[in-house]
Structure 1
Protein backbone atom coordinates (compact mmCIF):
# COMPACT_ATOMS: atom_id res chain seq x y z
CA UNK A 1 0.00 0.00 0.00
CA UNK A 2 1.27 3.47 -0.81
CA UNK A 3 2.14 5.89 1.94
CA UNK A 4 -0.74 8.32 2.34
CA UNK A 5 -0.26 11.97 3.08
CA UNK A 6 -3.18 13.11 5.15
CA UNK A 7 -4.04 16.40 3.44
CA UNK A 8 -6.21 15.39 0.52
CA UNK A 9 -8.98 17.58 -0.79
CA UNK A 10 -12.27 16.35 0.56
CA UNK A 11 -14.68 14.63 -1.79
CA UNK A 12 -17.76 16.64 -2.71
CA UNK A 13 -16.46 19.95 -1.42
CA UNK A 14 -14.48 22.82 -2.87
CA UNK A 15 -11.22 22.41 -4.77
CA UNK A 16 -8.17 24.04 -3.24
CA UNK A 17 -7.54 26.28 -6.23
CA UNK A 18 -4.00 27.49 -6.69
CA UNK A 19 -2.28 24.75 -4.72
CA UNK A 20 -0.94 23.11 -7.84
CA UNK A 21 -0.89 19.66 -9.37
CA UNK A 22 0.67 17.88 -6.41
CA UNK A 23 -2.28 18.49 -4.13
CA UNK A 24 -4.79 17.63 -6.82
CA UNK A 25 -3.01 14.45 -7.83
CA UNK A 26 -3.57 12.93 -4.42
CA UNK A 27 -7.33 13.49 -4.65
CA UNK A 28 -7.69 11.03 -7.50
CA UNK A 29 -5.57 8.27 -6.04
CA UNK A 30 -6.22 8.27 -2.34
CA UNK A 31 -9.05 10.56 -1.38
CA UNK A 32 -10.10 8.07 1.25
CA UNK A 33 -7.28 5.77 2.24
CA UNK A 34 -9.67 3.58 4.18
CA UNK A 35 -11.15 2.32 0.90
CA UNK A 36 -7.78 0.79 0.05
CA UNK A 37 -7.22 -0.74 3.46
CA UNK A 38 -7.53 -4.39 4.42
CA UNK A 39 -10.81 -5.26 6.10
CA UNK A 40 -10.69 -5.18 9.87
CA UNK A 41 -13.04 -5.60 12.81
CA UNK A 42 -13.36 -1.93 13.77
CA UNK A 43 -15.50 0.78 12.24
CA UNK A 44 -13.38 3.56 10.89
CA UNK A 45 -14.76 6.65 12.44
CA UNK A 46 -10.76 12.25 13.03
CA UNK A 47 -11.26 8.25 13.38
CA UNK A 48 -12.86 7.00 16.58
CA UNK A 49 -13.29 10.52 17.90
CA UNK A 50 -15.99 12.94 18.99
CA UNK A 51 -16.91 16.58 18.25
CA UNK A 52 -14.74 19.22 19.87
CA UNK A 53 -16.37 21.82 22.08
CA UNK A 54 -15.93 25.55 21.55
CA UNK A 55 -12.81 26.67 23.37
CA UNK A 56 -11.42 23.15 23.77
CA UNK A 57 -8.57 23.82 21.33
CA UNK A 58 -8.59 27.58 20.73
CA UNK A 59 -5.34 27.37 18.74
CA UNK A 60 -6.77 24.87 16.20
CA UNK A 61 -7.30 26.51 12.80
CA UNK A 62 -8.33 25.39 9.36
CA UNK A 63 -6.12 26.06 6.38
CA UNK A 64 -7.89 26.69 3.08
CA UNK A 65 -7.97 28.52 -0.20
CA UNK A 66 -9.42 32.01 -0.80
CA UNK A 67 -12.48 32.55 -2.94
CA UNK A 68 -16.11 31.52 -2.95
CA UNK A 69 -17.69 28.87 -0.77
CA UNK A 70 -17.93 28.33 2.95
CA UNK A 71 -14.83 27.77 5.09
CA UNK A 72 -15.86 24.11 5.34
CA UNK A 73 -15.89 23.81 1.56
CA UNK A 74 -12.48 25.49 1.18
CA UNK A 75 -10.61 23.92 4.11
CA UNK A 76 -8.11 21.19 3.24
CA UNK A 77 -5.60 21.10 6.11
CA UNK A 78 -5.28 22.05 9.76
CA UNK A 79 -2.86 24.19 11.67
CA UNK A 80 -1.99 25.51 15.13
CA UNK A 81 -1.61 29.13 16.22
CA UNK A 82 1.78 29.40 17.94
CA UNK A 83 1.93 33.22 18.06
CA UNK A 84 -0.70 35.90 17.49
CA UNK A 85 0.17 36.10 13.78
CA UNK A 86 1.88 32.73 13.11
CA UNK A 87 0.41 29.32 12.29
CA UNK A 88 2.38 26.06 12.26
CA UNK A 89 1.22 23.47 9.72
CA UNK A 90 2.60 20.60 7.62
CA UNK A 91 5.03 21.27 4.79
CA UNK A 92 3.19 18.86 2.51
CA UNK A 93 0.04 20.97 2.84
CA UNK A 94 1.69 24.04 1.33
CA UNK A 95 4.83 22.93 -0.50
CA UNK A 96 3.43 23.98 -3.89
CA UNK A 97 1.60 27.10 -2.66
CA UNK A 98 2.39 30.76 -2.36
CA UNK A 99 1.11 32.92 0.47
CA UNK A 100 -1.65 34.35 -1.72
CA UNK A 101 -3.05 30.85 -2.31
CA UNK A 102 -3.83 30.43 1.39
CA UNK A 103 -6.19 31.64 4.11
CA UNK A 104 -6.64 30.59 7.72
CA UNK A 105 -9.98 29.99 9.45
CA UNK A 106 -9.99 30.65 13.19
CA UNK A 107 -12.42 31.43 15.99
CA UNK A 108 -14.63 28.34 16.01
CA UNK A 109 -14.50 24.55 15.75
CA UNK A 110 -17.60 24.86 13.52
CA UNK A 111 -16.52 25.87 10.02
CA UNK A 112 -20.02 27.06 9.19
CA UNK A 113 -20.29 29.27 12.28
CA UNK A 114 -20.65 33.04 11.95
CA UNK A 115 -17.81 33.24 14.47
CA UNK A 116 -15.24 31.97 11.97
CA UNK A 117 -12.67 34.60 11.04
CA UNK A 118 -10.88 34.33 7.68
CA UNK A 119 -7.34 35.72 7.65
CA UNK A 120 -5.00 36.11 4.68
CA UNK A 121 -1.46 34.74 4.73
CA UNK A 122 1.30 37.30 4.18
CA UNK A 123 4.35 35.03 4.12
CA UNK A 124 5.15 31.33 4.03
CA UNK A 125 8.18 29.27 5.05
CA UNK A 126 8.44 25.57 4.17
CA UNK A 127 11.10 23.65 6.08
CA UNK A 128 14.39 23.64 4.18
CA UNK A 129 14.95 20.03 5.28
CA UNK A 130 11.51 18.71 4.26
CA UNK A 131 11.88 15.16 2.86
CA UNK A 132 15.44 14.88 4.21
CA UNK A 133 16.80 12.35 5.20
CA UNK A 134 13.70 10.32 4.23
CA UNK A 135 10.37 11.12 2.58
CA UNK A 136 8.12 13.23 4.85
CA UNK A 137 10.92 14.01 7.33
CA UNK A 138 10.75 17.52 8.80
CA UNK A 139 7.18 17.97 7.63
CA UNK A 140 6.59 21.49 8.92
CA UNK A 141 5.86 24.96 7.59
CA UNK A 142 5.10 28.36 9.08
CA UNK A 143 2.48 30.84 7.92
CA UNK A 144 2.87 34.53 8.72
CA UNK A 145 -0.63 35.98 8.91
CA UNK A 146 -1.55 39.34 7.41
CA UNK A 147 -2.89 40.38 10.81
CA UNK A 148 -3.02 38.87 14.30
CA UNK A 149 -5.90 36.59 15.25
CA UNK A 150 -7.70 36.75 18.58
CA UNK A 151 -6.71 33.21 19.51
CA UNK A 152 -4.82 31.71 22.43
CA UNK A 153 -1.56 30.27 21.05
CA UNK A 154 -0.31 26.85 22.12
CA UNK A 155 3.18 26.34 23.53
CA UNK A 156 5.63 24.16 21.62
CA UNK A 157 7.09 20.97 23.04
CA UNK A 158 10.83 21.48 22.68
CA UNK A 159 12.03 18.26 24.36
CA UNK A 160 11.32 14.78 23.03
CA UNK A 161 9.50 12.60 25.56
CA UNK A 162 7.46 9.43 25.90
CA UNK A 163 3.77 9.84 26.70
CA UNK A 164 0.99 7.51 27.74
CA UNK A 165 -1.44 9.17 25.34
CA UNK A 166 -1.85 12.26 23.20
CA UNK A 167 -4.76 14.13 21.62
CA UNK A 168 -5.22 15.10 17.99
CA UNK A 169 -7.97 17.13 16.34
CA UNK A 170 -9.17 18.33 12.96
CA UNK A 171 -11.83 18.40 10.27
CA UNK A 172 -10.55 15.35 8.39
CA UNK A 173 -12.27 12.19 7.23
CA UNK A 174 -14.13 10.33 9.97
CA UNK A 175 -14.63 7.25 7.82
CA UNK A 176 -18.06 8.41 6.69
CA UNK A 177 -17.79 12.18 6.19
CA UNK A 178 -15.73 15.33 6.53
CA UNK A 179 -17.35 16.97 9.56
CA UNK A 180 -18.33 20.62 9.79
CA UNK A 181 -17.40 20.60 13.49
CA UNK A 182 -13.83 19.54 14.26
CA UNK A 183 -13.40 16.18 15.97
CA UNK A 184 -10.79 15.08 18.47
CA UNK A 185 -9.52 11.75 19.71
CA UNK A 186 -7.05 10.40 22.25
CA UNK A 187 -4.34 8.23 20.70
CA UNK A 188 -1.82 6.03 22.51
CA UNK A 189 1.81 7.04 22.18
CA UNK A 190 3.97 4.64 20.14
CA UNK A 191 7.69 4.33 20.87
CA UNK A 192 10.30 5.10 18.21
CA UNK A 193 11.28 1.42 18.11
CA UNK A 194 7.70 0.27 17.51
CA UNK A 195 7.17 3.05 14.97
CA UNK A 196 10.25 1.98 13.02
CA UNK A 197 9.09 -1.64 13.16
CA UNK A 198 5.74 -0.60 11.68
CA UNK A 199 7.37 1.38 8.88
CA UNK A 200 10.85 -0.09 8.25
CA UNK A 201 13.22 2.35 6.61
CA UNK A 202 10.61 5.12 6.42
CA UNK A 203 10.84 6.75 9.84
CA UNK A 204 13.20 9.56 10.80
CA UNK A 205 13.05 9.31 14.59
CA UNK A 206 14.61 12.75 14.95
CA UNK A 207 11.70 14.49 13.22
CA UNK A 208 8.80 12.02 13.54
CA UNK A 209 6.72 10.48 16.30
CA UNK A 210 3.98 7.87 16.10
CA UNK A 211 0.66 7.49 17.88
CA UNK A 212 -2.22 5.05 17.54
CA UNK A 213 -3.51 1.73 18.83
CA UNK A 214 -1.00 -0.70 17.33
CA UNK A 215 -2.89 -3.80 18.41
CA UNK A 216 -6.46 -2.82 17.55
CA UNK A 217 -6.45 0.31 15.40
CA UNK A 218 -9.63 2.36 15.48
CA UNK A 219 -8.24 5.76 16.54
CA UNK A 220 -6.24 8.04 14.28
CA UNK A 221 -6.07 11.22 12.27
CA UNK A 222 -7.01 10.90 8.60
CA UNK A 223 -7.23 12.74 5.27
CA UNK A 224 -7.97 16.42 5.85
CA UNK A 225 -6.36 16.47 9.30
CA UNK A 226 -2.82 17.11 8.02
CA UNK A 227 -1.05 20.08 9.50
CA UNK A 228 -3.23 19.97 12.58
CA UNK A 229 -2.02 19.42 16.14
CA UNK A 230 -1.14 16.44 18.25
CA UNK A 231 -0.97 17.58 21.86
CA UNK A 232 -0.42 16.46 25.39
CA UNK A 233 -3.74 15.45 27.00
CA UNK A 234 -6.12 17.99 28.52
CA UNK A 235 -5.41 18.96 32.10
CA UNK A 236 -3.07 21.81 32.85
CA UNK A 237 -1.46 23.70 29.99
CA UNK A 238 -1.45 21.64 26.80
CA UNK A 239 1.72 21.49 24.73
CA UNK A 240 1.97 20.97 20.98
CA UNK A 241 4.28 18.02 20.40
CA UNK A 242 3.63 17.27 16.74
CA UNK A 243 1.90 17.91 13.42
CA UNK A 244 -0.38 15.46 11.59
CA UNK A 245 1.74 14.14 8.72
CA UNK A 246 1.25 10.68 7.17
CA UNK A 247 0.45 7.01 7.64
CA UNK A 248 -0.75 3.91 5.81
CA UNK A 249 -4.52 4.15 5.62
CA UNK A 250 -6.31 5.47 8.69
CA UNK A 251 -6.69 3.77 12.08
CA UNK A 252 -5.43 0.40 10.88
CA UNK A 253 -3.97 -2.04 13.41
CA UNK A 254 -0.20 -2.14 12.98
CA UNK A 255 -0.10 1.17 11.09
CA UNK A 256 0.03 4.08 13.56
CA UNK A 257 -0.30 7.70 12.53
CA UNK A 258 3.00 9.46 11.94
CA UNK A 259 3.45 13.05 13.12
CA UNK A 260 6.20 15.59 12.60
CA UNK A 261 7.89 15.85 16.02
CA UNK A 262 8.39 19.49 16.96
CA UNK A 263 11.25 18.77 19.37
CA UNK A 264 13.33 17.76 16.35
CA UNK A 265 13.10 21.15 14.67
CA UNK A 266 12.12 23.63 17.39
CA UNK A 267 15.39 25.50 16.89
CA UNK A 268 14.73 25.90 13.18
CA UNK A 269 11.24 27.26 13.95
CA UNK A 270 12.75 29.82 16.32
CA UNK A 271 15.15 30.98 13.60
CA UNK A 272 12.31 31.63 11.16
CA UNK A 273 10.26 33.46 13.81
CA UNK A 274 13.25 35.65 14.70
CA UNK A 275 13.62 36.63 11.04
CA UNK A 276 9.95 37.65 10.89
CA UNK A 277 10.14 39.96 13.90
Structure 2
Protein backbone atom coordinates (compact mmCIF):
# COMPACT_ATOMS: atom_id res chain seq x y z
CA UNK A 1 0.00 0.00 0.00
CA UNK A 2 1.31 3.43 -0.88
CA UNK A 3 1.46 6.17 1.75
CA UNK A 4 -0.92 9.07 1.33
CA UNK A 5 -1.49 11.98 3.66
CA UNK A 6 -4.94 12.77 4.97
CA UNK A 7 -5.58 16.27 6.27
CA UNK A 8 -7.36 16.71 9.57
CA UNK A 9 -7.43 20.31 10.60
CA UNK A 10 -3.81 21.41 10.90
CA UNK A 11 -2.37 17.89 10.82
CA UNK A 12 -2.31 14.94 8.47
CA UNK A 13 -3.18 11.36 9.19
CA UNK A 14 -1.14 8.78 7.35
CA UNK A 15 -2.90 5.93 5.66
CA UNK A 16 -1.43 2.97 7.51
CA UNK A 17 1.28 1.71 5.22
CA UNK A 18 2.62 -1.62 4.19
CA UNK A 19 5.89 -1.92 2.32
CA UNK A 20 5.70 -0.36 -1.12
CA UNK A 21 6.08 -3.73 -2.83
CA UNK A 22 3.46 -5.54 -0.78
CA UNK A 23 0.04 -6.77 -1.84
CA UNK A 24 -3.16 -4.77 -1.44
CA UNK A 25 -3.00 -2.72 1.69
CA UNK A 26 -5.47 -2.99 4.46
CA UNK A 27 -7.47 -1.61 7.17
CA UNK A 28 -6.84 0.86 9.84
CA UNK A 29 -10.20 2.53 10.71
CA UNK A 30 -13.34 1.36 12.42
CA UNK A 31 -16.39 0.95 10.16
CA UNK A 32 -19.85 0.89 11.80
CA UNK A 33 -18.21 1.64 15.14
CA UNK A 34 -19.39 3.27 18.33
CA UNK A 35 -17.46 5.31 20.87
CA UNK A 36 -15.65 3.35 23.52
CA UNK A 37 -16.42 3.86 27.20
CA UNK A 38 -14.12 6.19 29.09
CA UNK A 39 -12.18 3.42 30.86
CA UNK A 40 -12.74 0.58 28.41
CA UNK A 41 -9.46 0.78 26.46
CA UNK A 42 -7.08 2.27 29.01
CA UNK A 43 -4.23 0.46 27.27
CA UNK A 44 -4.85 1.94 23.79
CA UNK A 45 -2.01 4.03 22.32
CA UNK A 46 -1.80 6.57 19.50
CA UNK A 47 1.38 6.21 17.44
CA UNK A 48 2.71 9.26 15.61
CA UNK A 49 5.61 9.27 13.14
CA UNK A 50 7.76 12.15 11.93
CA UNK A 51 7.24 13.30 8.36
CA UNK A 52 8.74 16.57 7.09
CA UNK A 53 9.59 17.62 10.66
CA UNK A 54 6.01 17.12 11.83
CA UNK A 55 4.64 14.21 13.83
CA UNK A 56 1.59 12.73 12.11
CA UNK A 57 -0.81 10.04 13.26
CA UNK A 58 0.13 6.63 11.87
CA UNK A 59 -1.16 3.66 13.87
CA UNK A 60 -2.90 2.38 16.96
CA UNK A 61 -1.13 0.27 19.59
CA UNK A 62 -1.59 -1.39 22.98
CA UNK A 63 0.33 -1.00 26.22
CA UNK A 64 1.37 -4.54 27.24
CA UNK A 65 3.85 -3.67 30.01
CA UNK A 66 4.45 -0.41 31.82
CA UNK A 67 6.97 0.69 29.16
CA UNK A 68 6.21 -1.32 25.98
CA UNK A 69 3.66 -0.66 23.22
CA UNK A 70 2.65 -3.55 20.97
CA UNK A 71 1.64 -2.71 17.41
CA UNK A 72 1.95 -3.97 13.83
CA UNK A 73 5.33 -4.55 12.19
CA UNK A 74 4.37 -2.43 9.21
CA UNK A 75 3.90 0.50 11.59
CA UNK A 76 7.64 0.33 12.31
CA UNK A 77 8.97 -0.32 8.80
CA UNK A 78 9.14 1.73 5.62
CA UNK A 79 10.56 0.40 2.34
CA UNK A 80 11.85 -2.69 4.17
CA UNK A 81 13.83 -0.58 6.63
CA UNK A 82 12.93 -0.23 10.31
CA UNK A 83 12.49 3.41 11.23
CA UNK A 84 14.55 4.94 14.04
CA UNK A 85 12.99 5.22 17.50
CA UNK A 86 13.29 9.03 17.49
CA UNK A 87 10.88 9.08 14.54
CA UNK A 88 8.01 8.27 16.91
CA UNK A 89 5.90 9.82 19.62
CA UNK A 90 3.28 7.89 21.59
CA UNK A 91 0.14 9.35 23.15
CA UNK A 92 -1.63 7.42 25.92
CA UNK A 93 -4.49 7.98 28.30
CA UNK A 94 -6.99 9.71 26.02
CA UNK A 95 -9.91 8.57 23.87
CA UNK A 96 -9.54 11.75 21.81
CA UNK A 97 -6.96 11.88 19.04
CA UNK A 98 -4.09 14.02 20.25
CA UNK A 99 -1.47 16.15 18.52
CA UNK A 100 2.04 15.92 20.00
CA UNK A 101 3.06 18.91 17.86
CA UNK A 102 0.86 21.28 19.80
CA UNK A 103 0.79 20.46 23.48
CA UNK A 104 -0.52 16.91 23.83
CA UNK A 105 1.56 14.98 26.35
CA UNK A 106 3.53 12.17 24.74
CA UNK A 107 6.18 9.51 25.32
CA UNK A 108 9.38 9.16 23.32
CA UNK A 109 10.44 5.78 21.92
CA UNK A 110 13.96 4.52 22.70
CA UNK A 111 13.90 1.09 21.02
CA UNK A 112 11.90 -0.77 18.38
CA UNK A 113 11.84 -4.52 17.77
CA UNK A 114 9.92 -5.57 14.66
CA UNK A 115 11.24 -9.14 14.76
CA UNK A 116 11.52 -10.69 11.31
CA UNK A 117 8.65 -8.74 9.75
CA UNK A 118 10.87 -7.42 6.93
CA UNK A 119 11.36 -10.96 5.64
CA UNK A 120 8.13 -12.56 6.90
CA UNK A 121 4.99 -10.50 6.26
CA UNK A 122 2.90 -12.96 8.27
CA UNK A 123 4.81 -11.84 11.39
CA UNK A 124 3.26 -8.36 11.41
CA UNK A 125 4.17 -7.35 14.93
CA UNK A 126 6.45 -4.80 16.62
CA UNK A 127 7.30 -3.61 20.11
CA UNK A 128 8.06 0.02 20.94
CA UNK A 129 9.96 0.64 24.16
CA UNK A 130 9.09 3.92 25.84
CA UNK A 131 11.66 6.20 27.48
CA UNK A 132 9.96 5.81 30.85
CA UNK A 133 7.23 3.71 32.51
CA UNK A 134 3.61 4.79 32.09
CA UNK A 135 1.91 5.57 35.42
CA UNK A 136 -1.21 3.54 36.12
CA UNK A 137 -3.08 6.83 36.47
CA UNK A 138 -2.47 7.37 32.72
CA UNK A 139 -2.84 3.88 31.25
CA UNK A 140 -2.81 0.25 32.37
CA UNK A 141 -1.33 -2.68 30.39
CA UNK A 142 -3.60 -5.29 28.86
CA UNK A 143 -3.00 -9.01 29.32
CA UNK A 144 -2.43 -11.31 26.34
CA UNK A 145 -4.91 -14.05 25.36
CA UNK A 146 -2.73 -17.21 25.07
CA UNK A 147 -5.30 -19.71 23.77
CA UNK A 148 -6.27 -20.93 20.33
CA UNK A 149 -8.84 -18.78 18.55
CA UNK A 150 -12.10 -20.23 17.26
CA UNK A 151 -14.71 -18.77 14.91
CA UNK A 152 -17.25 -18.22 17.66
CA UNK A 153 -14.91 -16.21 19.88
CA UNK A 154 -16.53 -12.83 20.52
CA UNK A 155 -14.02 -10.18 19.54
CA UNK A 156 -13.99 -6.38 19.27
CA UNK A 157 -11.56 -4.17 17.36
CA UNK A 158 -10.74 -0.57 18.29
CA UNK A 159 -8.85 2.33 16.78
CA UNK A 160 -8.78 5.93 15.63
CA UNK A 161 -8.99 5.02 11.93
CA UNK A 162 -11.43 6.28 9.31
CA UNK A 163 -15.12 5.68 9.86
CA UNK A 164 -16.20 5.42 6.23
CA UNK A 165 -14.50 3.43 3.47
CA UNK A 166 -12.80 5.80 1.06
CA UNK A 167 -12.82 8.67 3.54
CA UNK A 168 -9.69 10.71 4.24
CA UNK A 169 -10.79 11.81 7.70
CA UNK A 170 -9.90 9.74 10.78
CA UNK A 171 -11.97 9.53 13.89
CA UNK A 172 -11.19 12.12 16.55
CA UNK A 173 -12.30 9.66 19.23
CA UNK A 174 -11.49 6.00 19.84
CA UNK A 175 -14.10 3.77 18.22
CA UNK A 176 -14.86 0.07 18.54
CA UNK A 177 -16.87 -2.52 16.63
CA UNK A 178 -17.61 -6.24 16.87
CA UNK A 179 -16.13 -8.34 14.05
CA UNK A 180 -16.34 -11.98 12.96
CA UNK A 181 -13.50 -14.50 13.08
CA UNK A 182 -13.56 -16.72 10.00
CA UNK A 183 -11.85 -19.86 8.72
CA UNK A 184 -13.50 -20.04 5.30
CA UNK A 185 -11.64 -20.90 2.10
CA UNK A 186 -11.44 -17.15 1.41
CA UNK A 187 -8.91 -16.79 4.21
CA UNK A 188 -6.29 -18.70 2.26
CA UNK A 189 -7.49 -17.45 -1.12
CA UNK A 190 -6.74 -13.82 -0.29
CA UNK A 191 -3.68 -14.37 1.88
CA UNK A 192 -1.61 -17.54 1.40
CA UNK A 193 0.27 -16.71 4.62
CA UNK A 194 -2.88 -17.62 6.57
CA UNK A 195 -3.10 -21.29 7.50
CA UNK A 196 -5.44 -21.61 10.50
CA UNK A 197 -6.51 -19.28 13.26
CA UNK A 198 -4.12 -21.21 15.51
CA UNK A 199 -1.11 -19.77 13.68
CA UNK A 200 0.46 -16.34 13.31
CA UNK A 201 -2.53 -14.75 11.58
CA UNK A 202 -6.25 -14.53 12.34
CA UNK A 203 -8.81 -14.15 9.57
CA UNK A 204 -11.90 -11.94 9.70
CA UNK A 205 -14.62 -11.58 7.07
CA UNK A 206 -16.97 -8.60 7.09
CA UNK A 207 -20.51 -9.84 6.53
CA UNK A 208 -22.33 -6.81 7.95
CA UNK A 209 -19.90 -4.00 7.11
CA UNK A 210 -18.22 -3.95 10.53
CA UNK A 211 -14.49 -3.67 9.99
CA UNK A 212 -11.23 -1.96 10.83
CA UNK A 213 -9.81 0.51 8.32
CA UNK A 214 -7.09 3.10 7.54
CA UNK A 215 -5.57 4.34 10.78
CA UNK A 216 -6.49 1.27 12.81
CA UNK A 217 -3.33 -0.66 11.89
CA UNK A 218 -1.65 -2.10 14.96
CA UNK A 219 -4.80 -1.62 16.99
CA UNK A 220 -6.21 -4.13 19.47
CA UNK A 221 -8.51 -7.04 18.75
CA UNK A 222 -9.85 -8.01 22.17
CA UNK A 223 -12.15 -10.46 23.90
CA UNK A 224 -13.33 -10.75 27.50
CA UNK A 225 -11.74 -13.40 29.69
CA UNK A 226 -12.32 -13.64 33.42
CA UNK A 227 -14.40 -10.47 33.28
CA UNK A 228 -11.59 -8.38 31.77
CA UNK A 229 -10.48 -7.47 28.28
CA UNK A 230 -7.53 -9.44 26.94
CA UNK A 231 -5.54 -8.87 23.76
CA UNK A 232 -6.22 -11.44 21.04
CA UNK A 233 -4.83 -9.76 17.93
CA UNK A 234 -3.20 -6.78 16.27
CA UNK A 235 -4.79 -5.21 13.19
CA UNK A 236 -2.61 -6.13 10.21
CA UNK A 237 -4.04 -5.87 6.68
CA UNK A 238 -7.00 -6.64 4.44
CA UNK A 239 -8.61 -6.22 1.03
CA UNK A 240 -11.87 -6.30 -0.88
CA UNK A 241 -12.83 -9.74 -2.09
CA UNK A 242 -14.13 -8.22 -5.33
CA UNK A 243 -11.27 -6.59 -7.32
CA UNK A 244 -13.83 -4.38 -9.10
CA UNK A 245 -14.64 -2.58 -5.84
CA UNK A 246 -12.34 0.12 -4.52
CA UNK A 247 -13.30 0.16 -0.83
CA UNK A 248 -10.52 -1.46 1.19
CA UNK A 249 -12.58 -1.88 4.34
CA UNK A 250 -16.18 -2.48 5.34
CA UNK A 251 -18.62 -4.44 3.19
CA UNK A 252 -17.28 -7.47 1.28
CA UNK A 253 -13.81 -7.18 2.80
CA UNK A 254 -11.54 -9.74 4.37
CA UNK A 255 -9.04 -8.71 7.03
CA UNK A 256 -6.14 -10.28 8.89
CA UNK A 257 -4.87 -9.78 12.43
CA UNK A 258 -1.60 -10.88 13.99
CA UNK A 259 -2.43 -13.43 16.70
CA UNK A 260 -0.62 -12.06 19.73
CA UNK A 261 -0.54 -15.36 21.64
CA UNK A 262 1.56 -16.88 18.86
CA UNK A 263 4.27 -14.33 19.65
CA UNK A 264 4.12 -14.63 23.43
CA UNK A 265 7.74 -15.76 23.76
CA UNK A 266 8.93 -13.01 21.41
CA UNK A 267 7.14 -10.44 23.57
CA UNK A 268 8.49 -12.00 26.77
CA UNK A 269 12.07 -12.05 25.49
CA UNK A 270 11.96 -8.41 24.44
CA UNK A 271 10.17 -7.00 27.48
CA UNK A 272 11.87 -9.19 30.09
CA UNK A 273 8.45 -10.09 31.50
CA UNK A 274 7.56 -13.77 31.91
CA UNK A 275 4.77 -15.29 29.80
CA UNK A 276 2.87 -16.03 32.99
CA UNK A 277 2.93 -12.35 33.97
CA UNK A 278 1.92 -11.22 30.46
CA UNK A 279 -1.22 -13.38 30.46
CA UNK A 280 -4.27 -13.61 32.76
CA UNK A 281 -4.07 -15.76 35.85
CA UNK A 282 -4.09 -19.28 34.43
CA UNK A 283 -3.17 -22.77 35.54
CA UNK A 284 -0.89 -23.30 32.55
CA UNK A 285 2.66 -24.57 32.28
CA UNK A 286 4.73 -22.54 29.83
| TM-score, normalized by the shorter chain, greater than 0.5 | yes
1:11 matched to which residue of 2? Answer: 6
Q: What is the CA distance between 1:269 and its match in structure 2?
A: 1.4
2:64 matched to which residue of 1? Answer: 82
Q: What is the CA distance between 1:23 and its match in structure 2?
A: 6.8
Does the 8 Å contact 1:123/1:144 carry over to 2?
A: yes
1:251 matched to which residue of 2? Answer: 250
1:54 matched to which residue of 2? Answer: 38
Cα distance in 1, alignment partners of residues 124 and 18 from structure 2:
15
Pairs within 5 Å for 1:168-187: 168-175=157-164, 176=167, 177-187=169-179
Cα distance in 2, alignment partners of residues 112 and 217 from structure 1:
30
Deviations 1:106-160 (A, max 9, x none): 011112499953100011111125542xxx2010000110011131100011222
Does the 8 Å contact 2:203/2:255 carry over to 1?
A: yes
Structure 1: gaps of 5 or more residues: 35-44
Q: Are 2:222 and 1:231 equivalent residues in the alignment?
A: yes
Q: Are 2:87 and 1:101 equivalent residues in the alignment?
A: yes
Cα distance in 2, alignment partners of residues 65 and 104 from structure 1:
9
Cα distance in 2, alignment partners of residues 131 and 60 from structure 1:
28
Cα distance in 2, alignment partners of residues 115 and 169 from structure 1:
25
Pairs within 5 Å for 1:114-133: 117-132=105-120
Q: Are 2:206 and 1:208 equivalent residues in the alignment?
A: no
Does the 8 Å contact 1:130/1:140 carry over to 2?
A: no
Q: What is the CA distance between 1:225 and its match in structure 2?
A: 0.5
User: Structure 1: which 4+ aligned runs deviate by more than 4 Å?
Assistant: 22-26, 30-34, 66-69, 112-116
Q: What is the CA distance between 1:25 and its match in structure 2?
A: 5.9
Cα distance in 2, alignment partners of residues 33 and 201 from structure 1:
18
Cα distance in 1, alignment partners of residues 224 and 33 from structure 2:
14
2:148 matched to which residue of 1? Answer: 160
Task: Provide closer, same or farther for how the CA distance between residues 185 and 131 of structure 1 changes in structure 2, counting only shifts above 3 A.
Answer: farther
| Secondary structure, counterpart of 1:190 in structure 2 | coil
Q: What is the CA distance between 1:212 and its match in structure 2?
A: 3.5
| Secondary structure, counterpart of 1:264 in structure 2 | helix
Q: What is the CA distance between 1:266 and its match in structure 2?
A: 1.1
Please point out which of 123, 134, 138 is paired with 1:138.
123
Does the 8 Å contact 1:85/1:149 carry over to 2?
A: yes
How many correspondences in the alignment? Answer: 244
Cα distance in 2, alignment partners of residues 126 and 168 from structure 1:
22
Higher strand share: 2
Task: Provide closer, same or farther for how the CA distance between residues 10 and 24 of structure 1 changes in structure 2, counting only shifts above 3 A.
Answer: farther
Higher helix share: 1
Structure 2: gaps of 5 or more residues: 240-247, 274-286
| Secondary structure, counterpart of 2:194 in structure 1 | coil
Give TM-score, length-normalised by structure 1: 0.76
Q: What is the CA distance between 1:165 and its match in structure 2?
A: 2.3
Give TM-score, length-normalised by structure 2: 0.74
Does the 8 Å contact 1:106/1:116 carry over to 2?
A: no
Two-structure CA RMSD over aligned residues (Å): 3.3
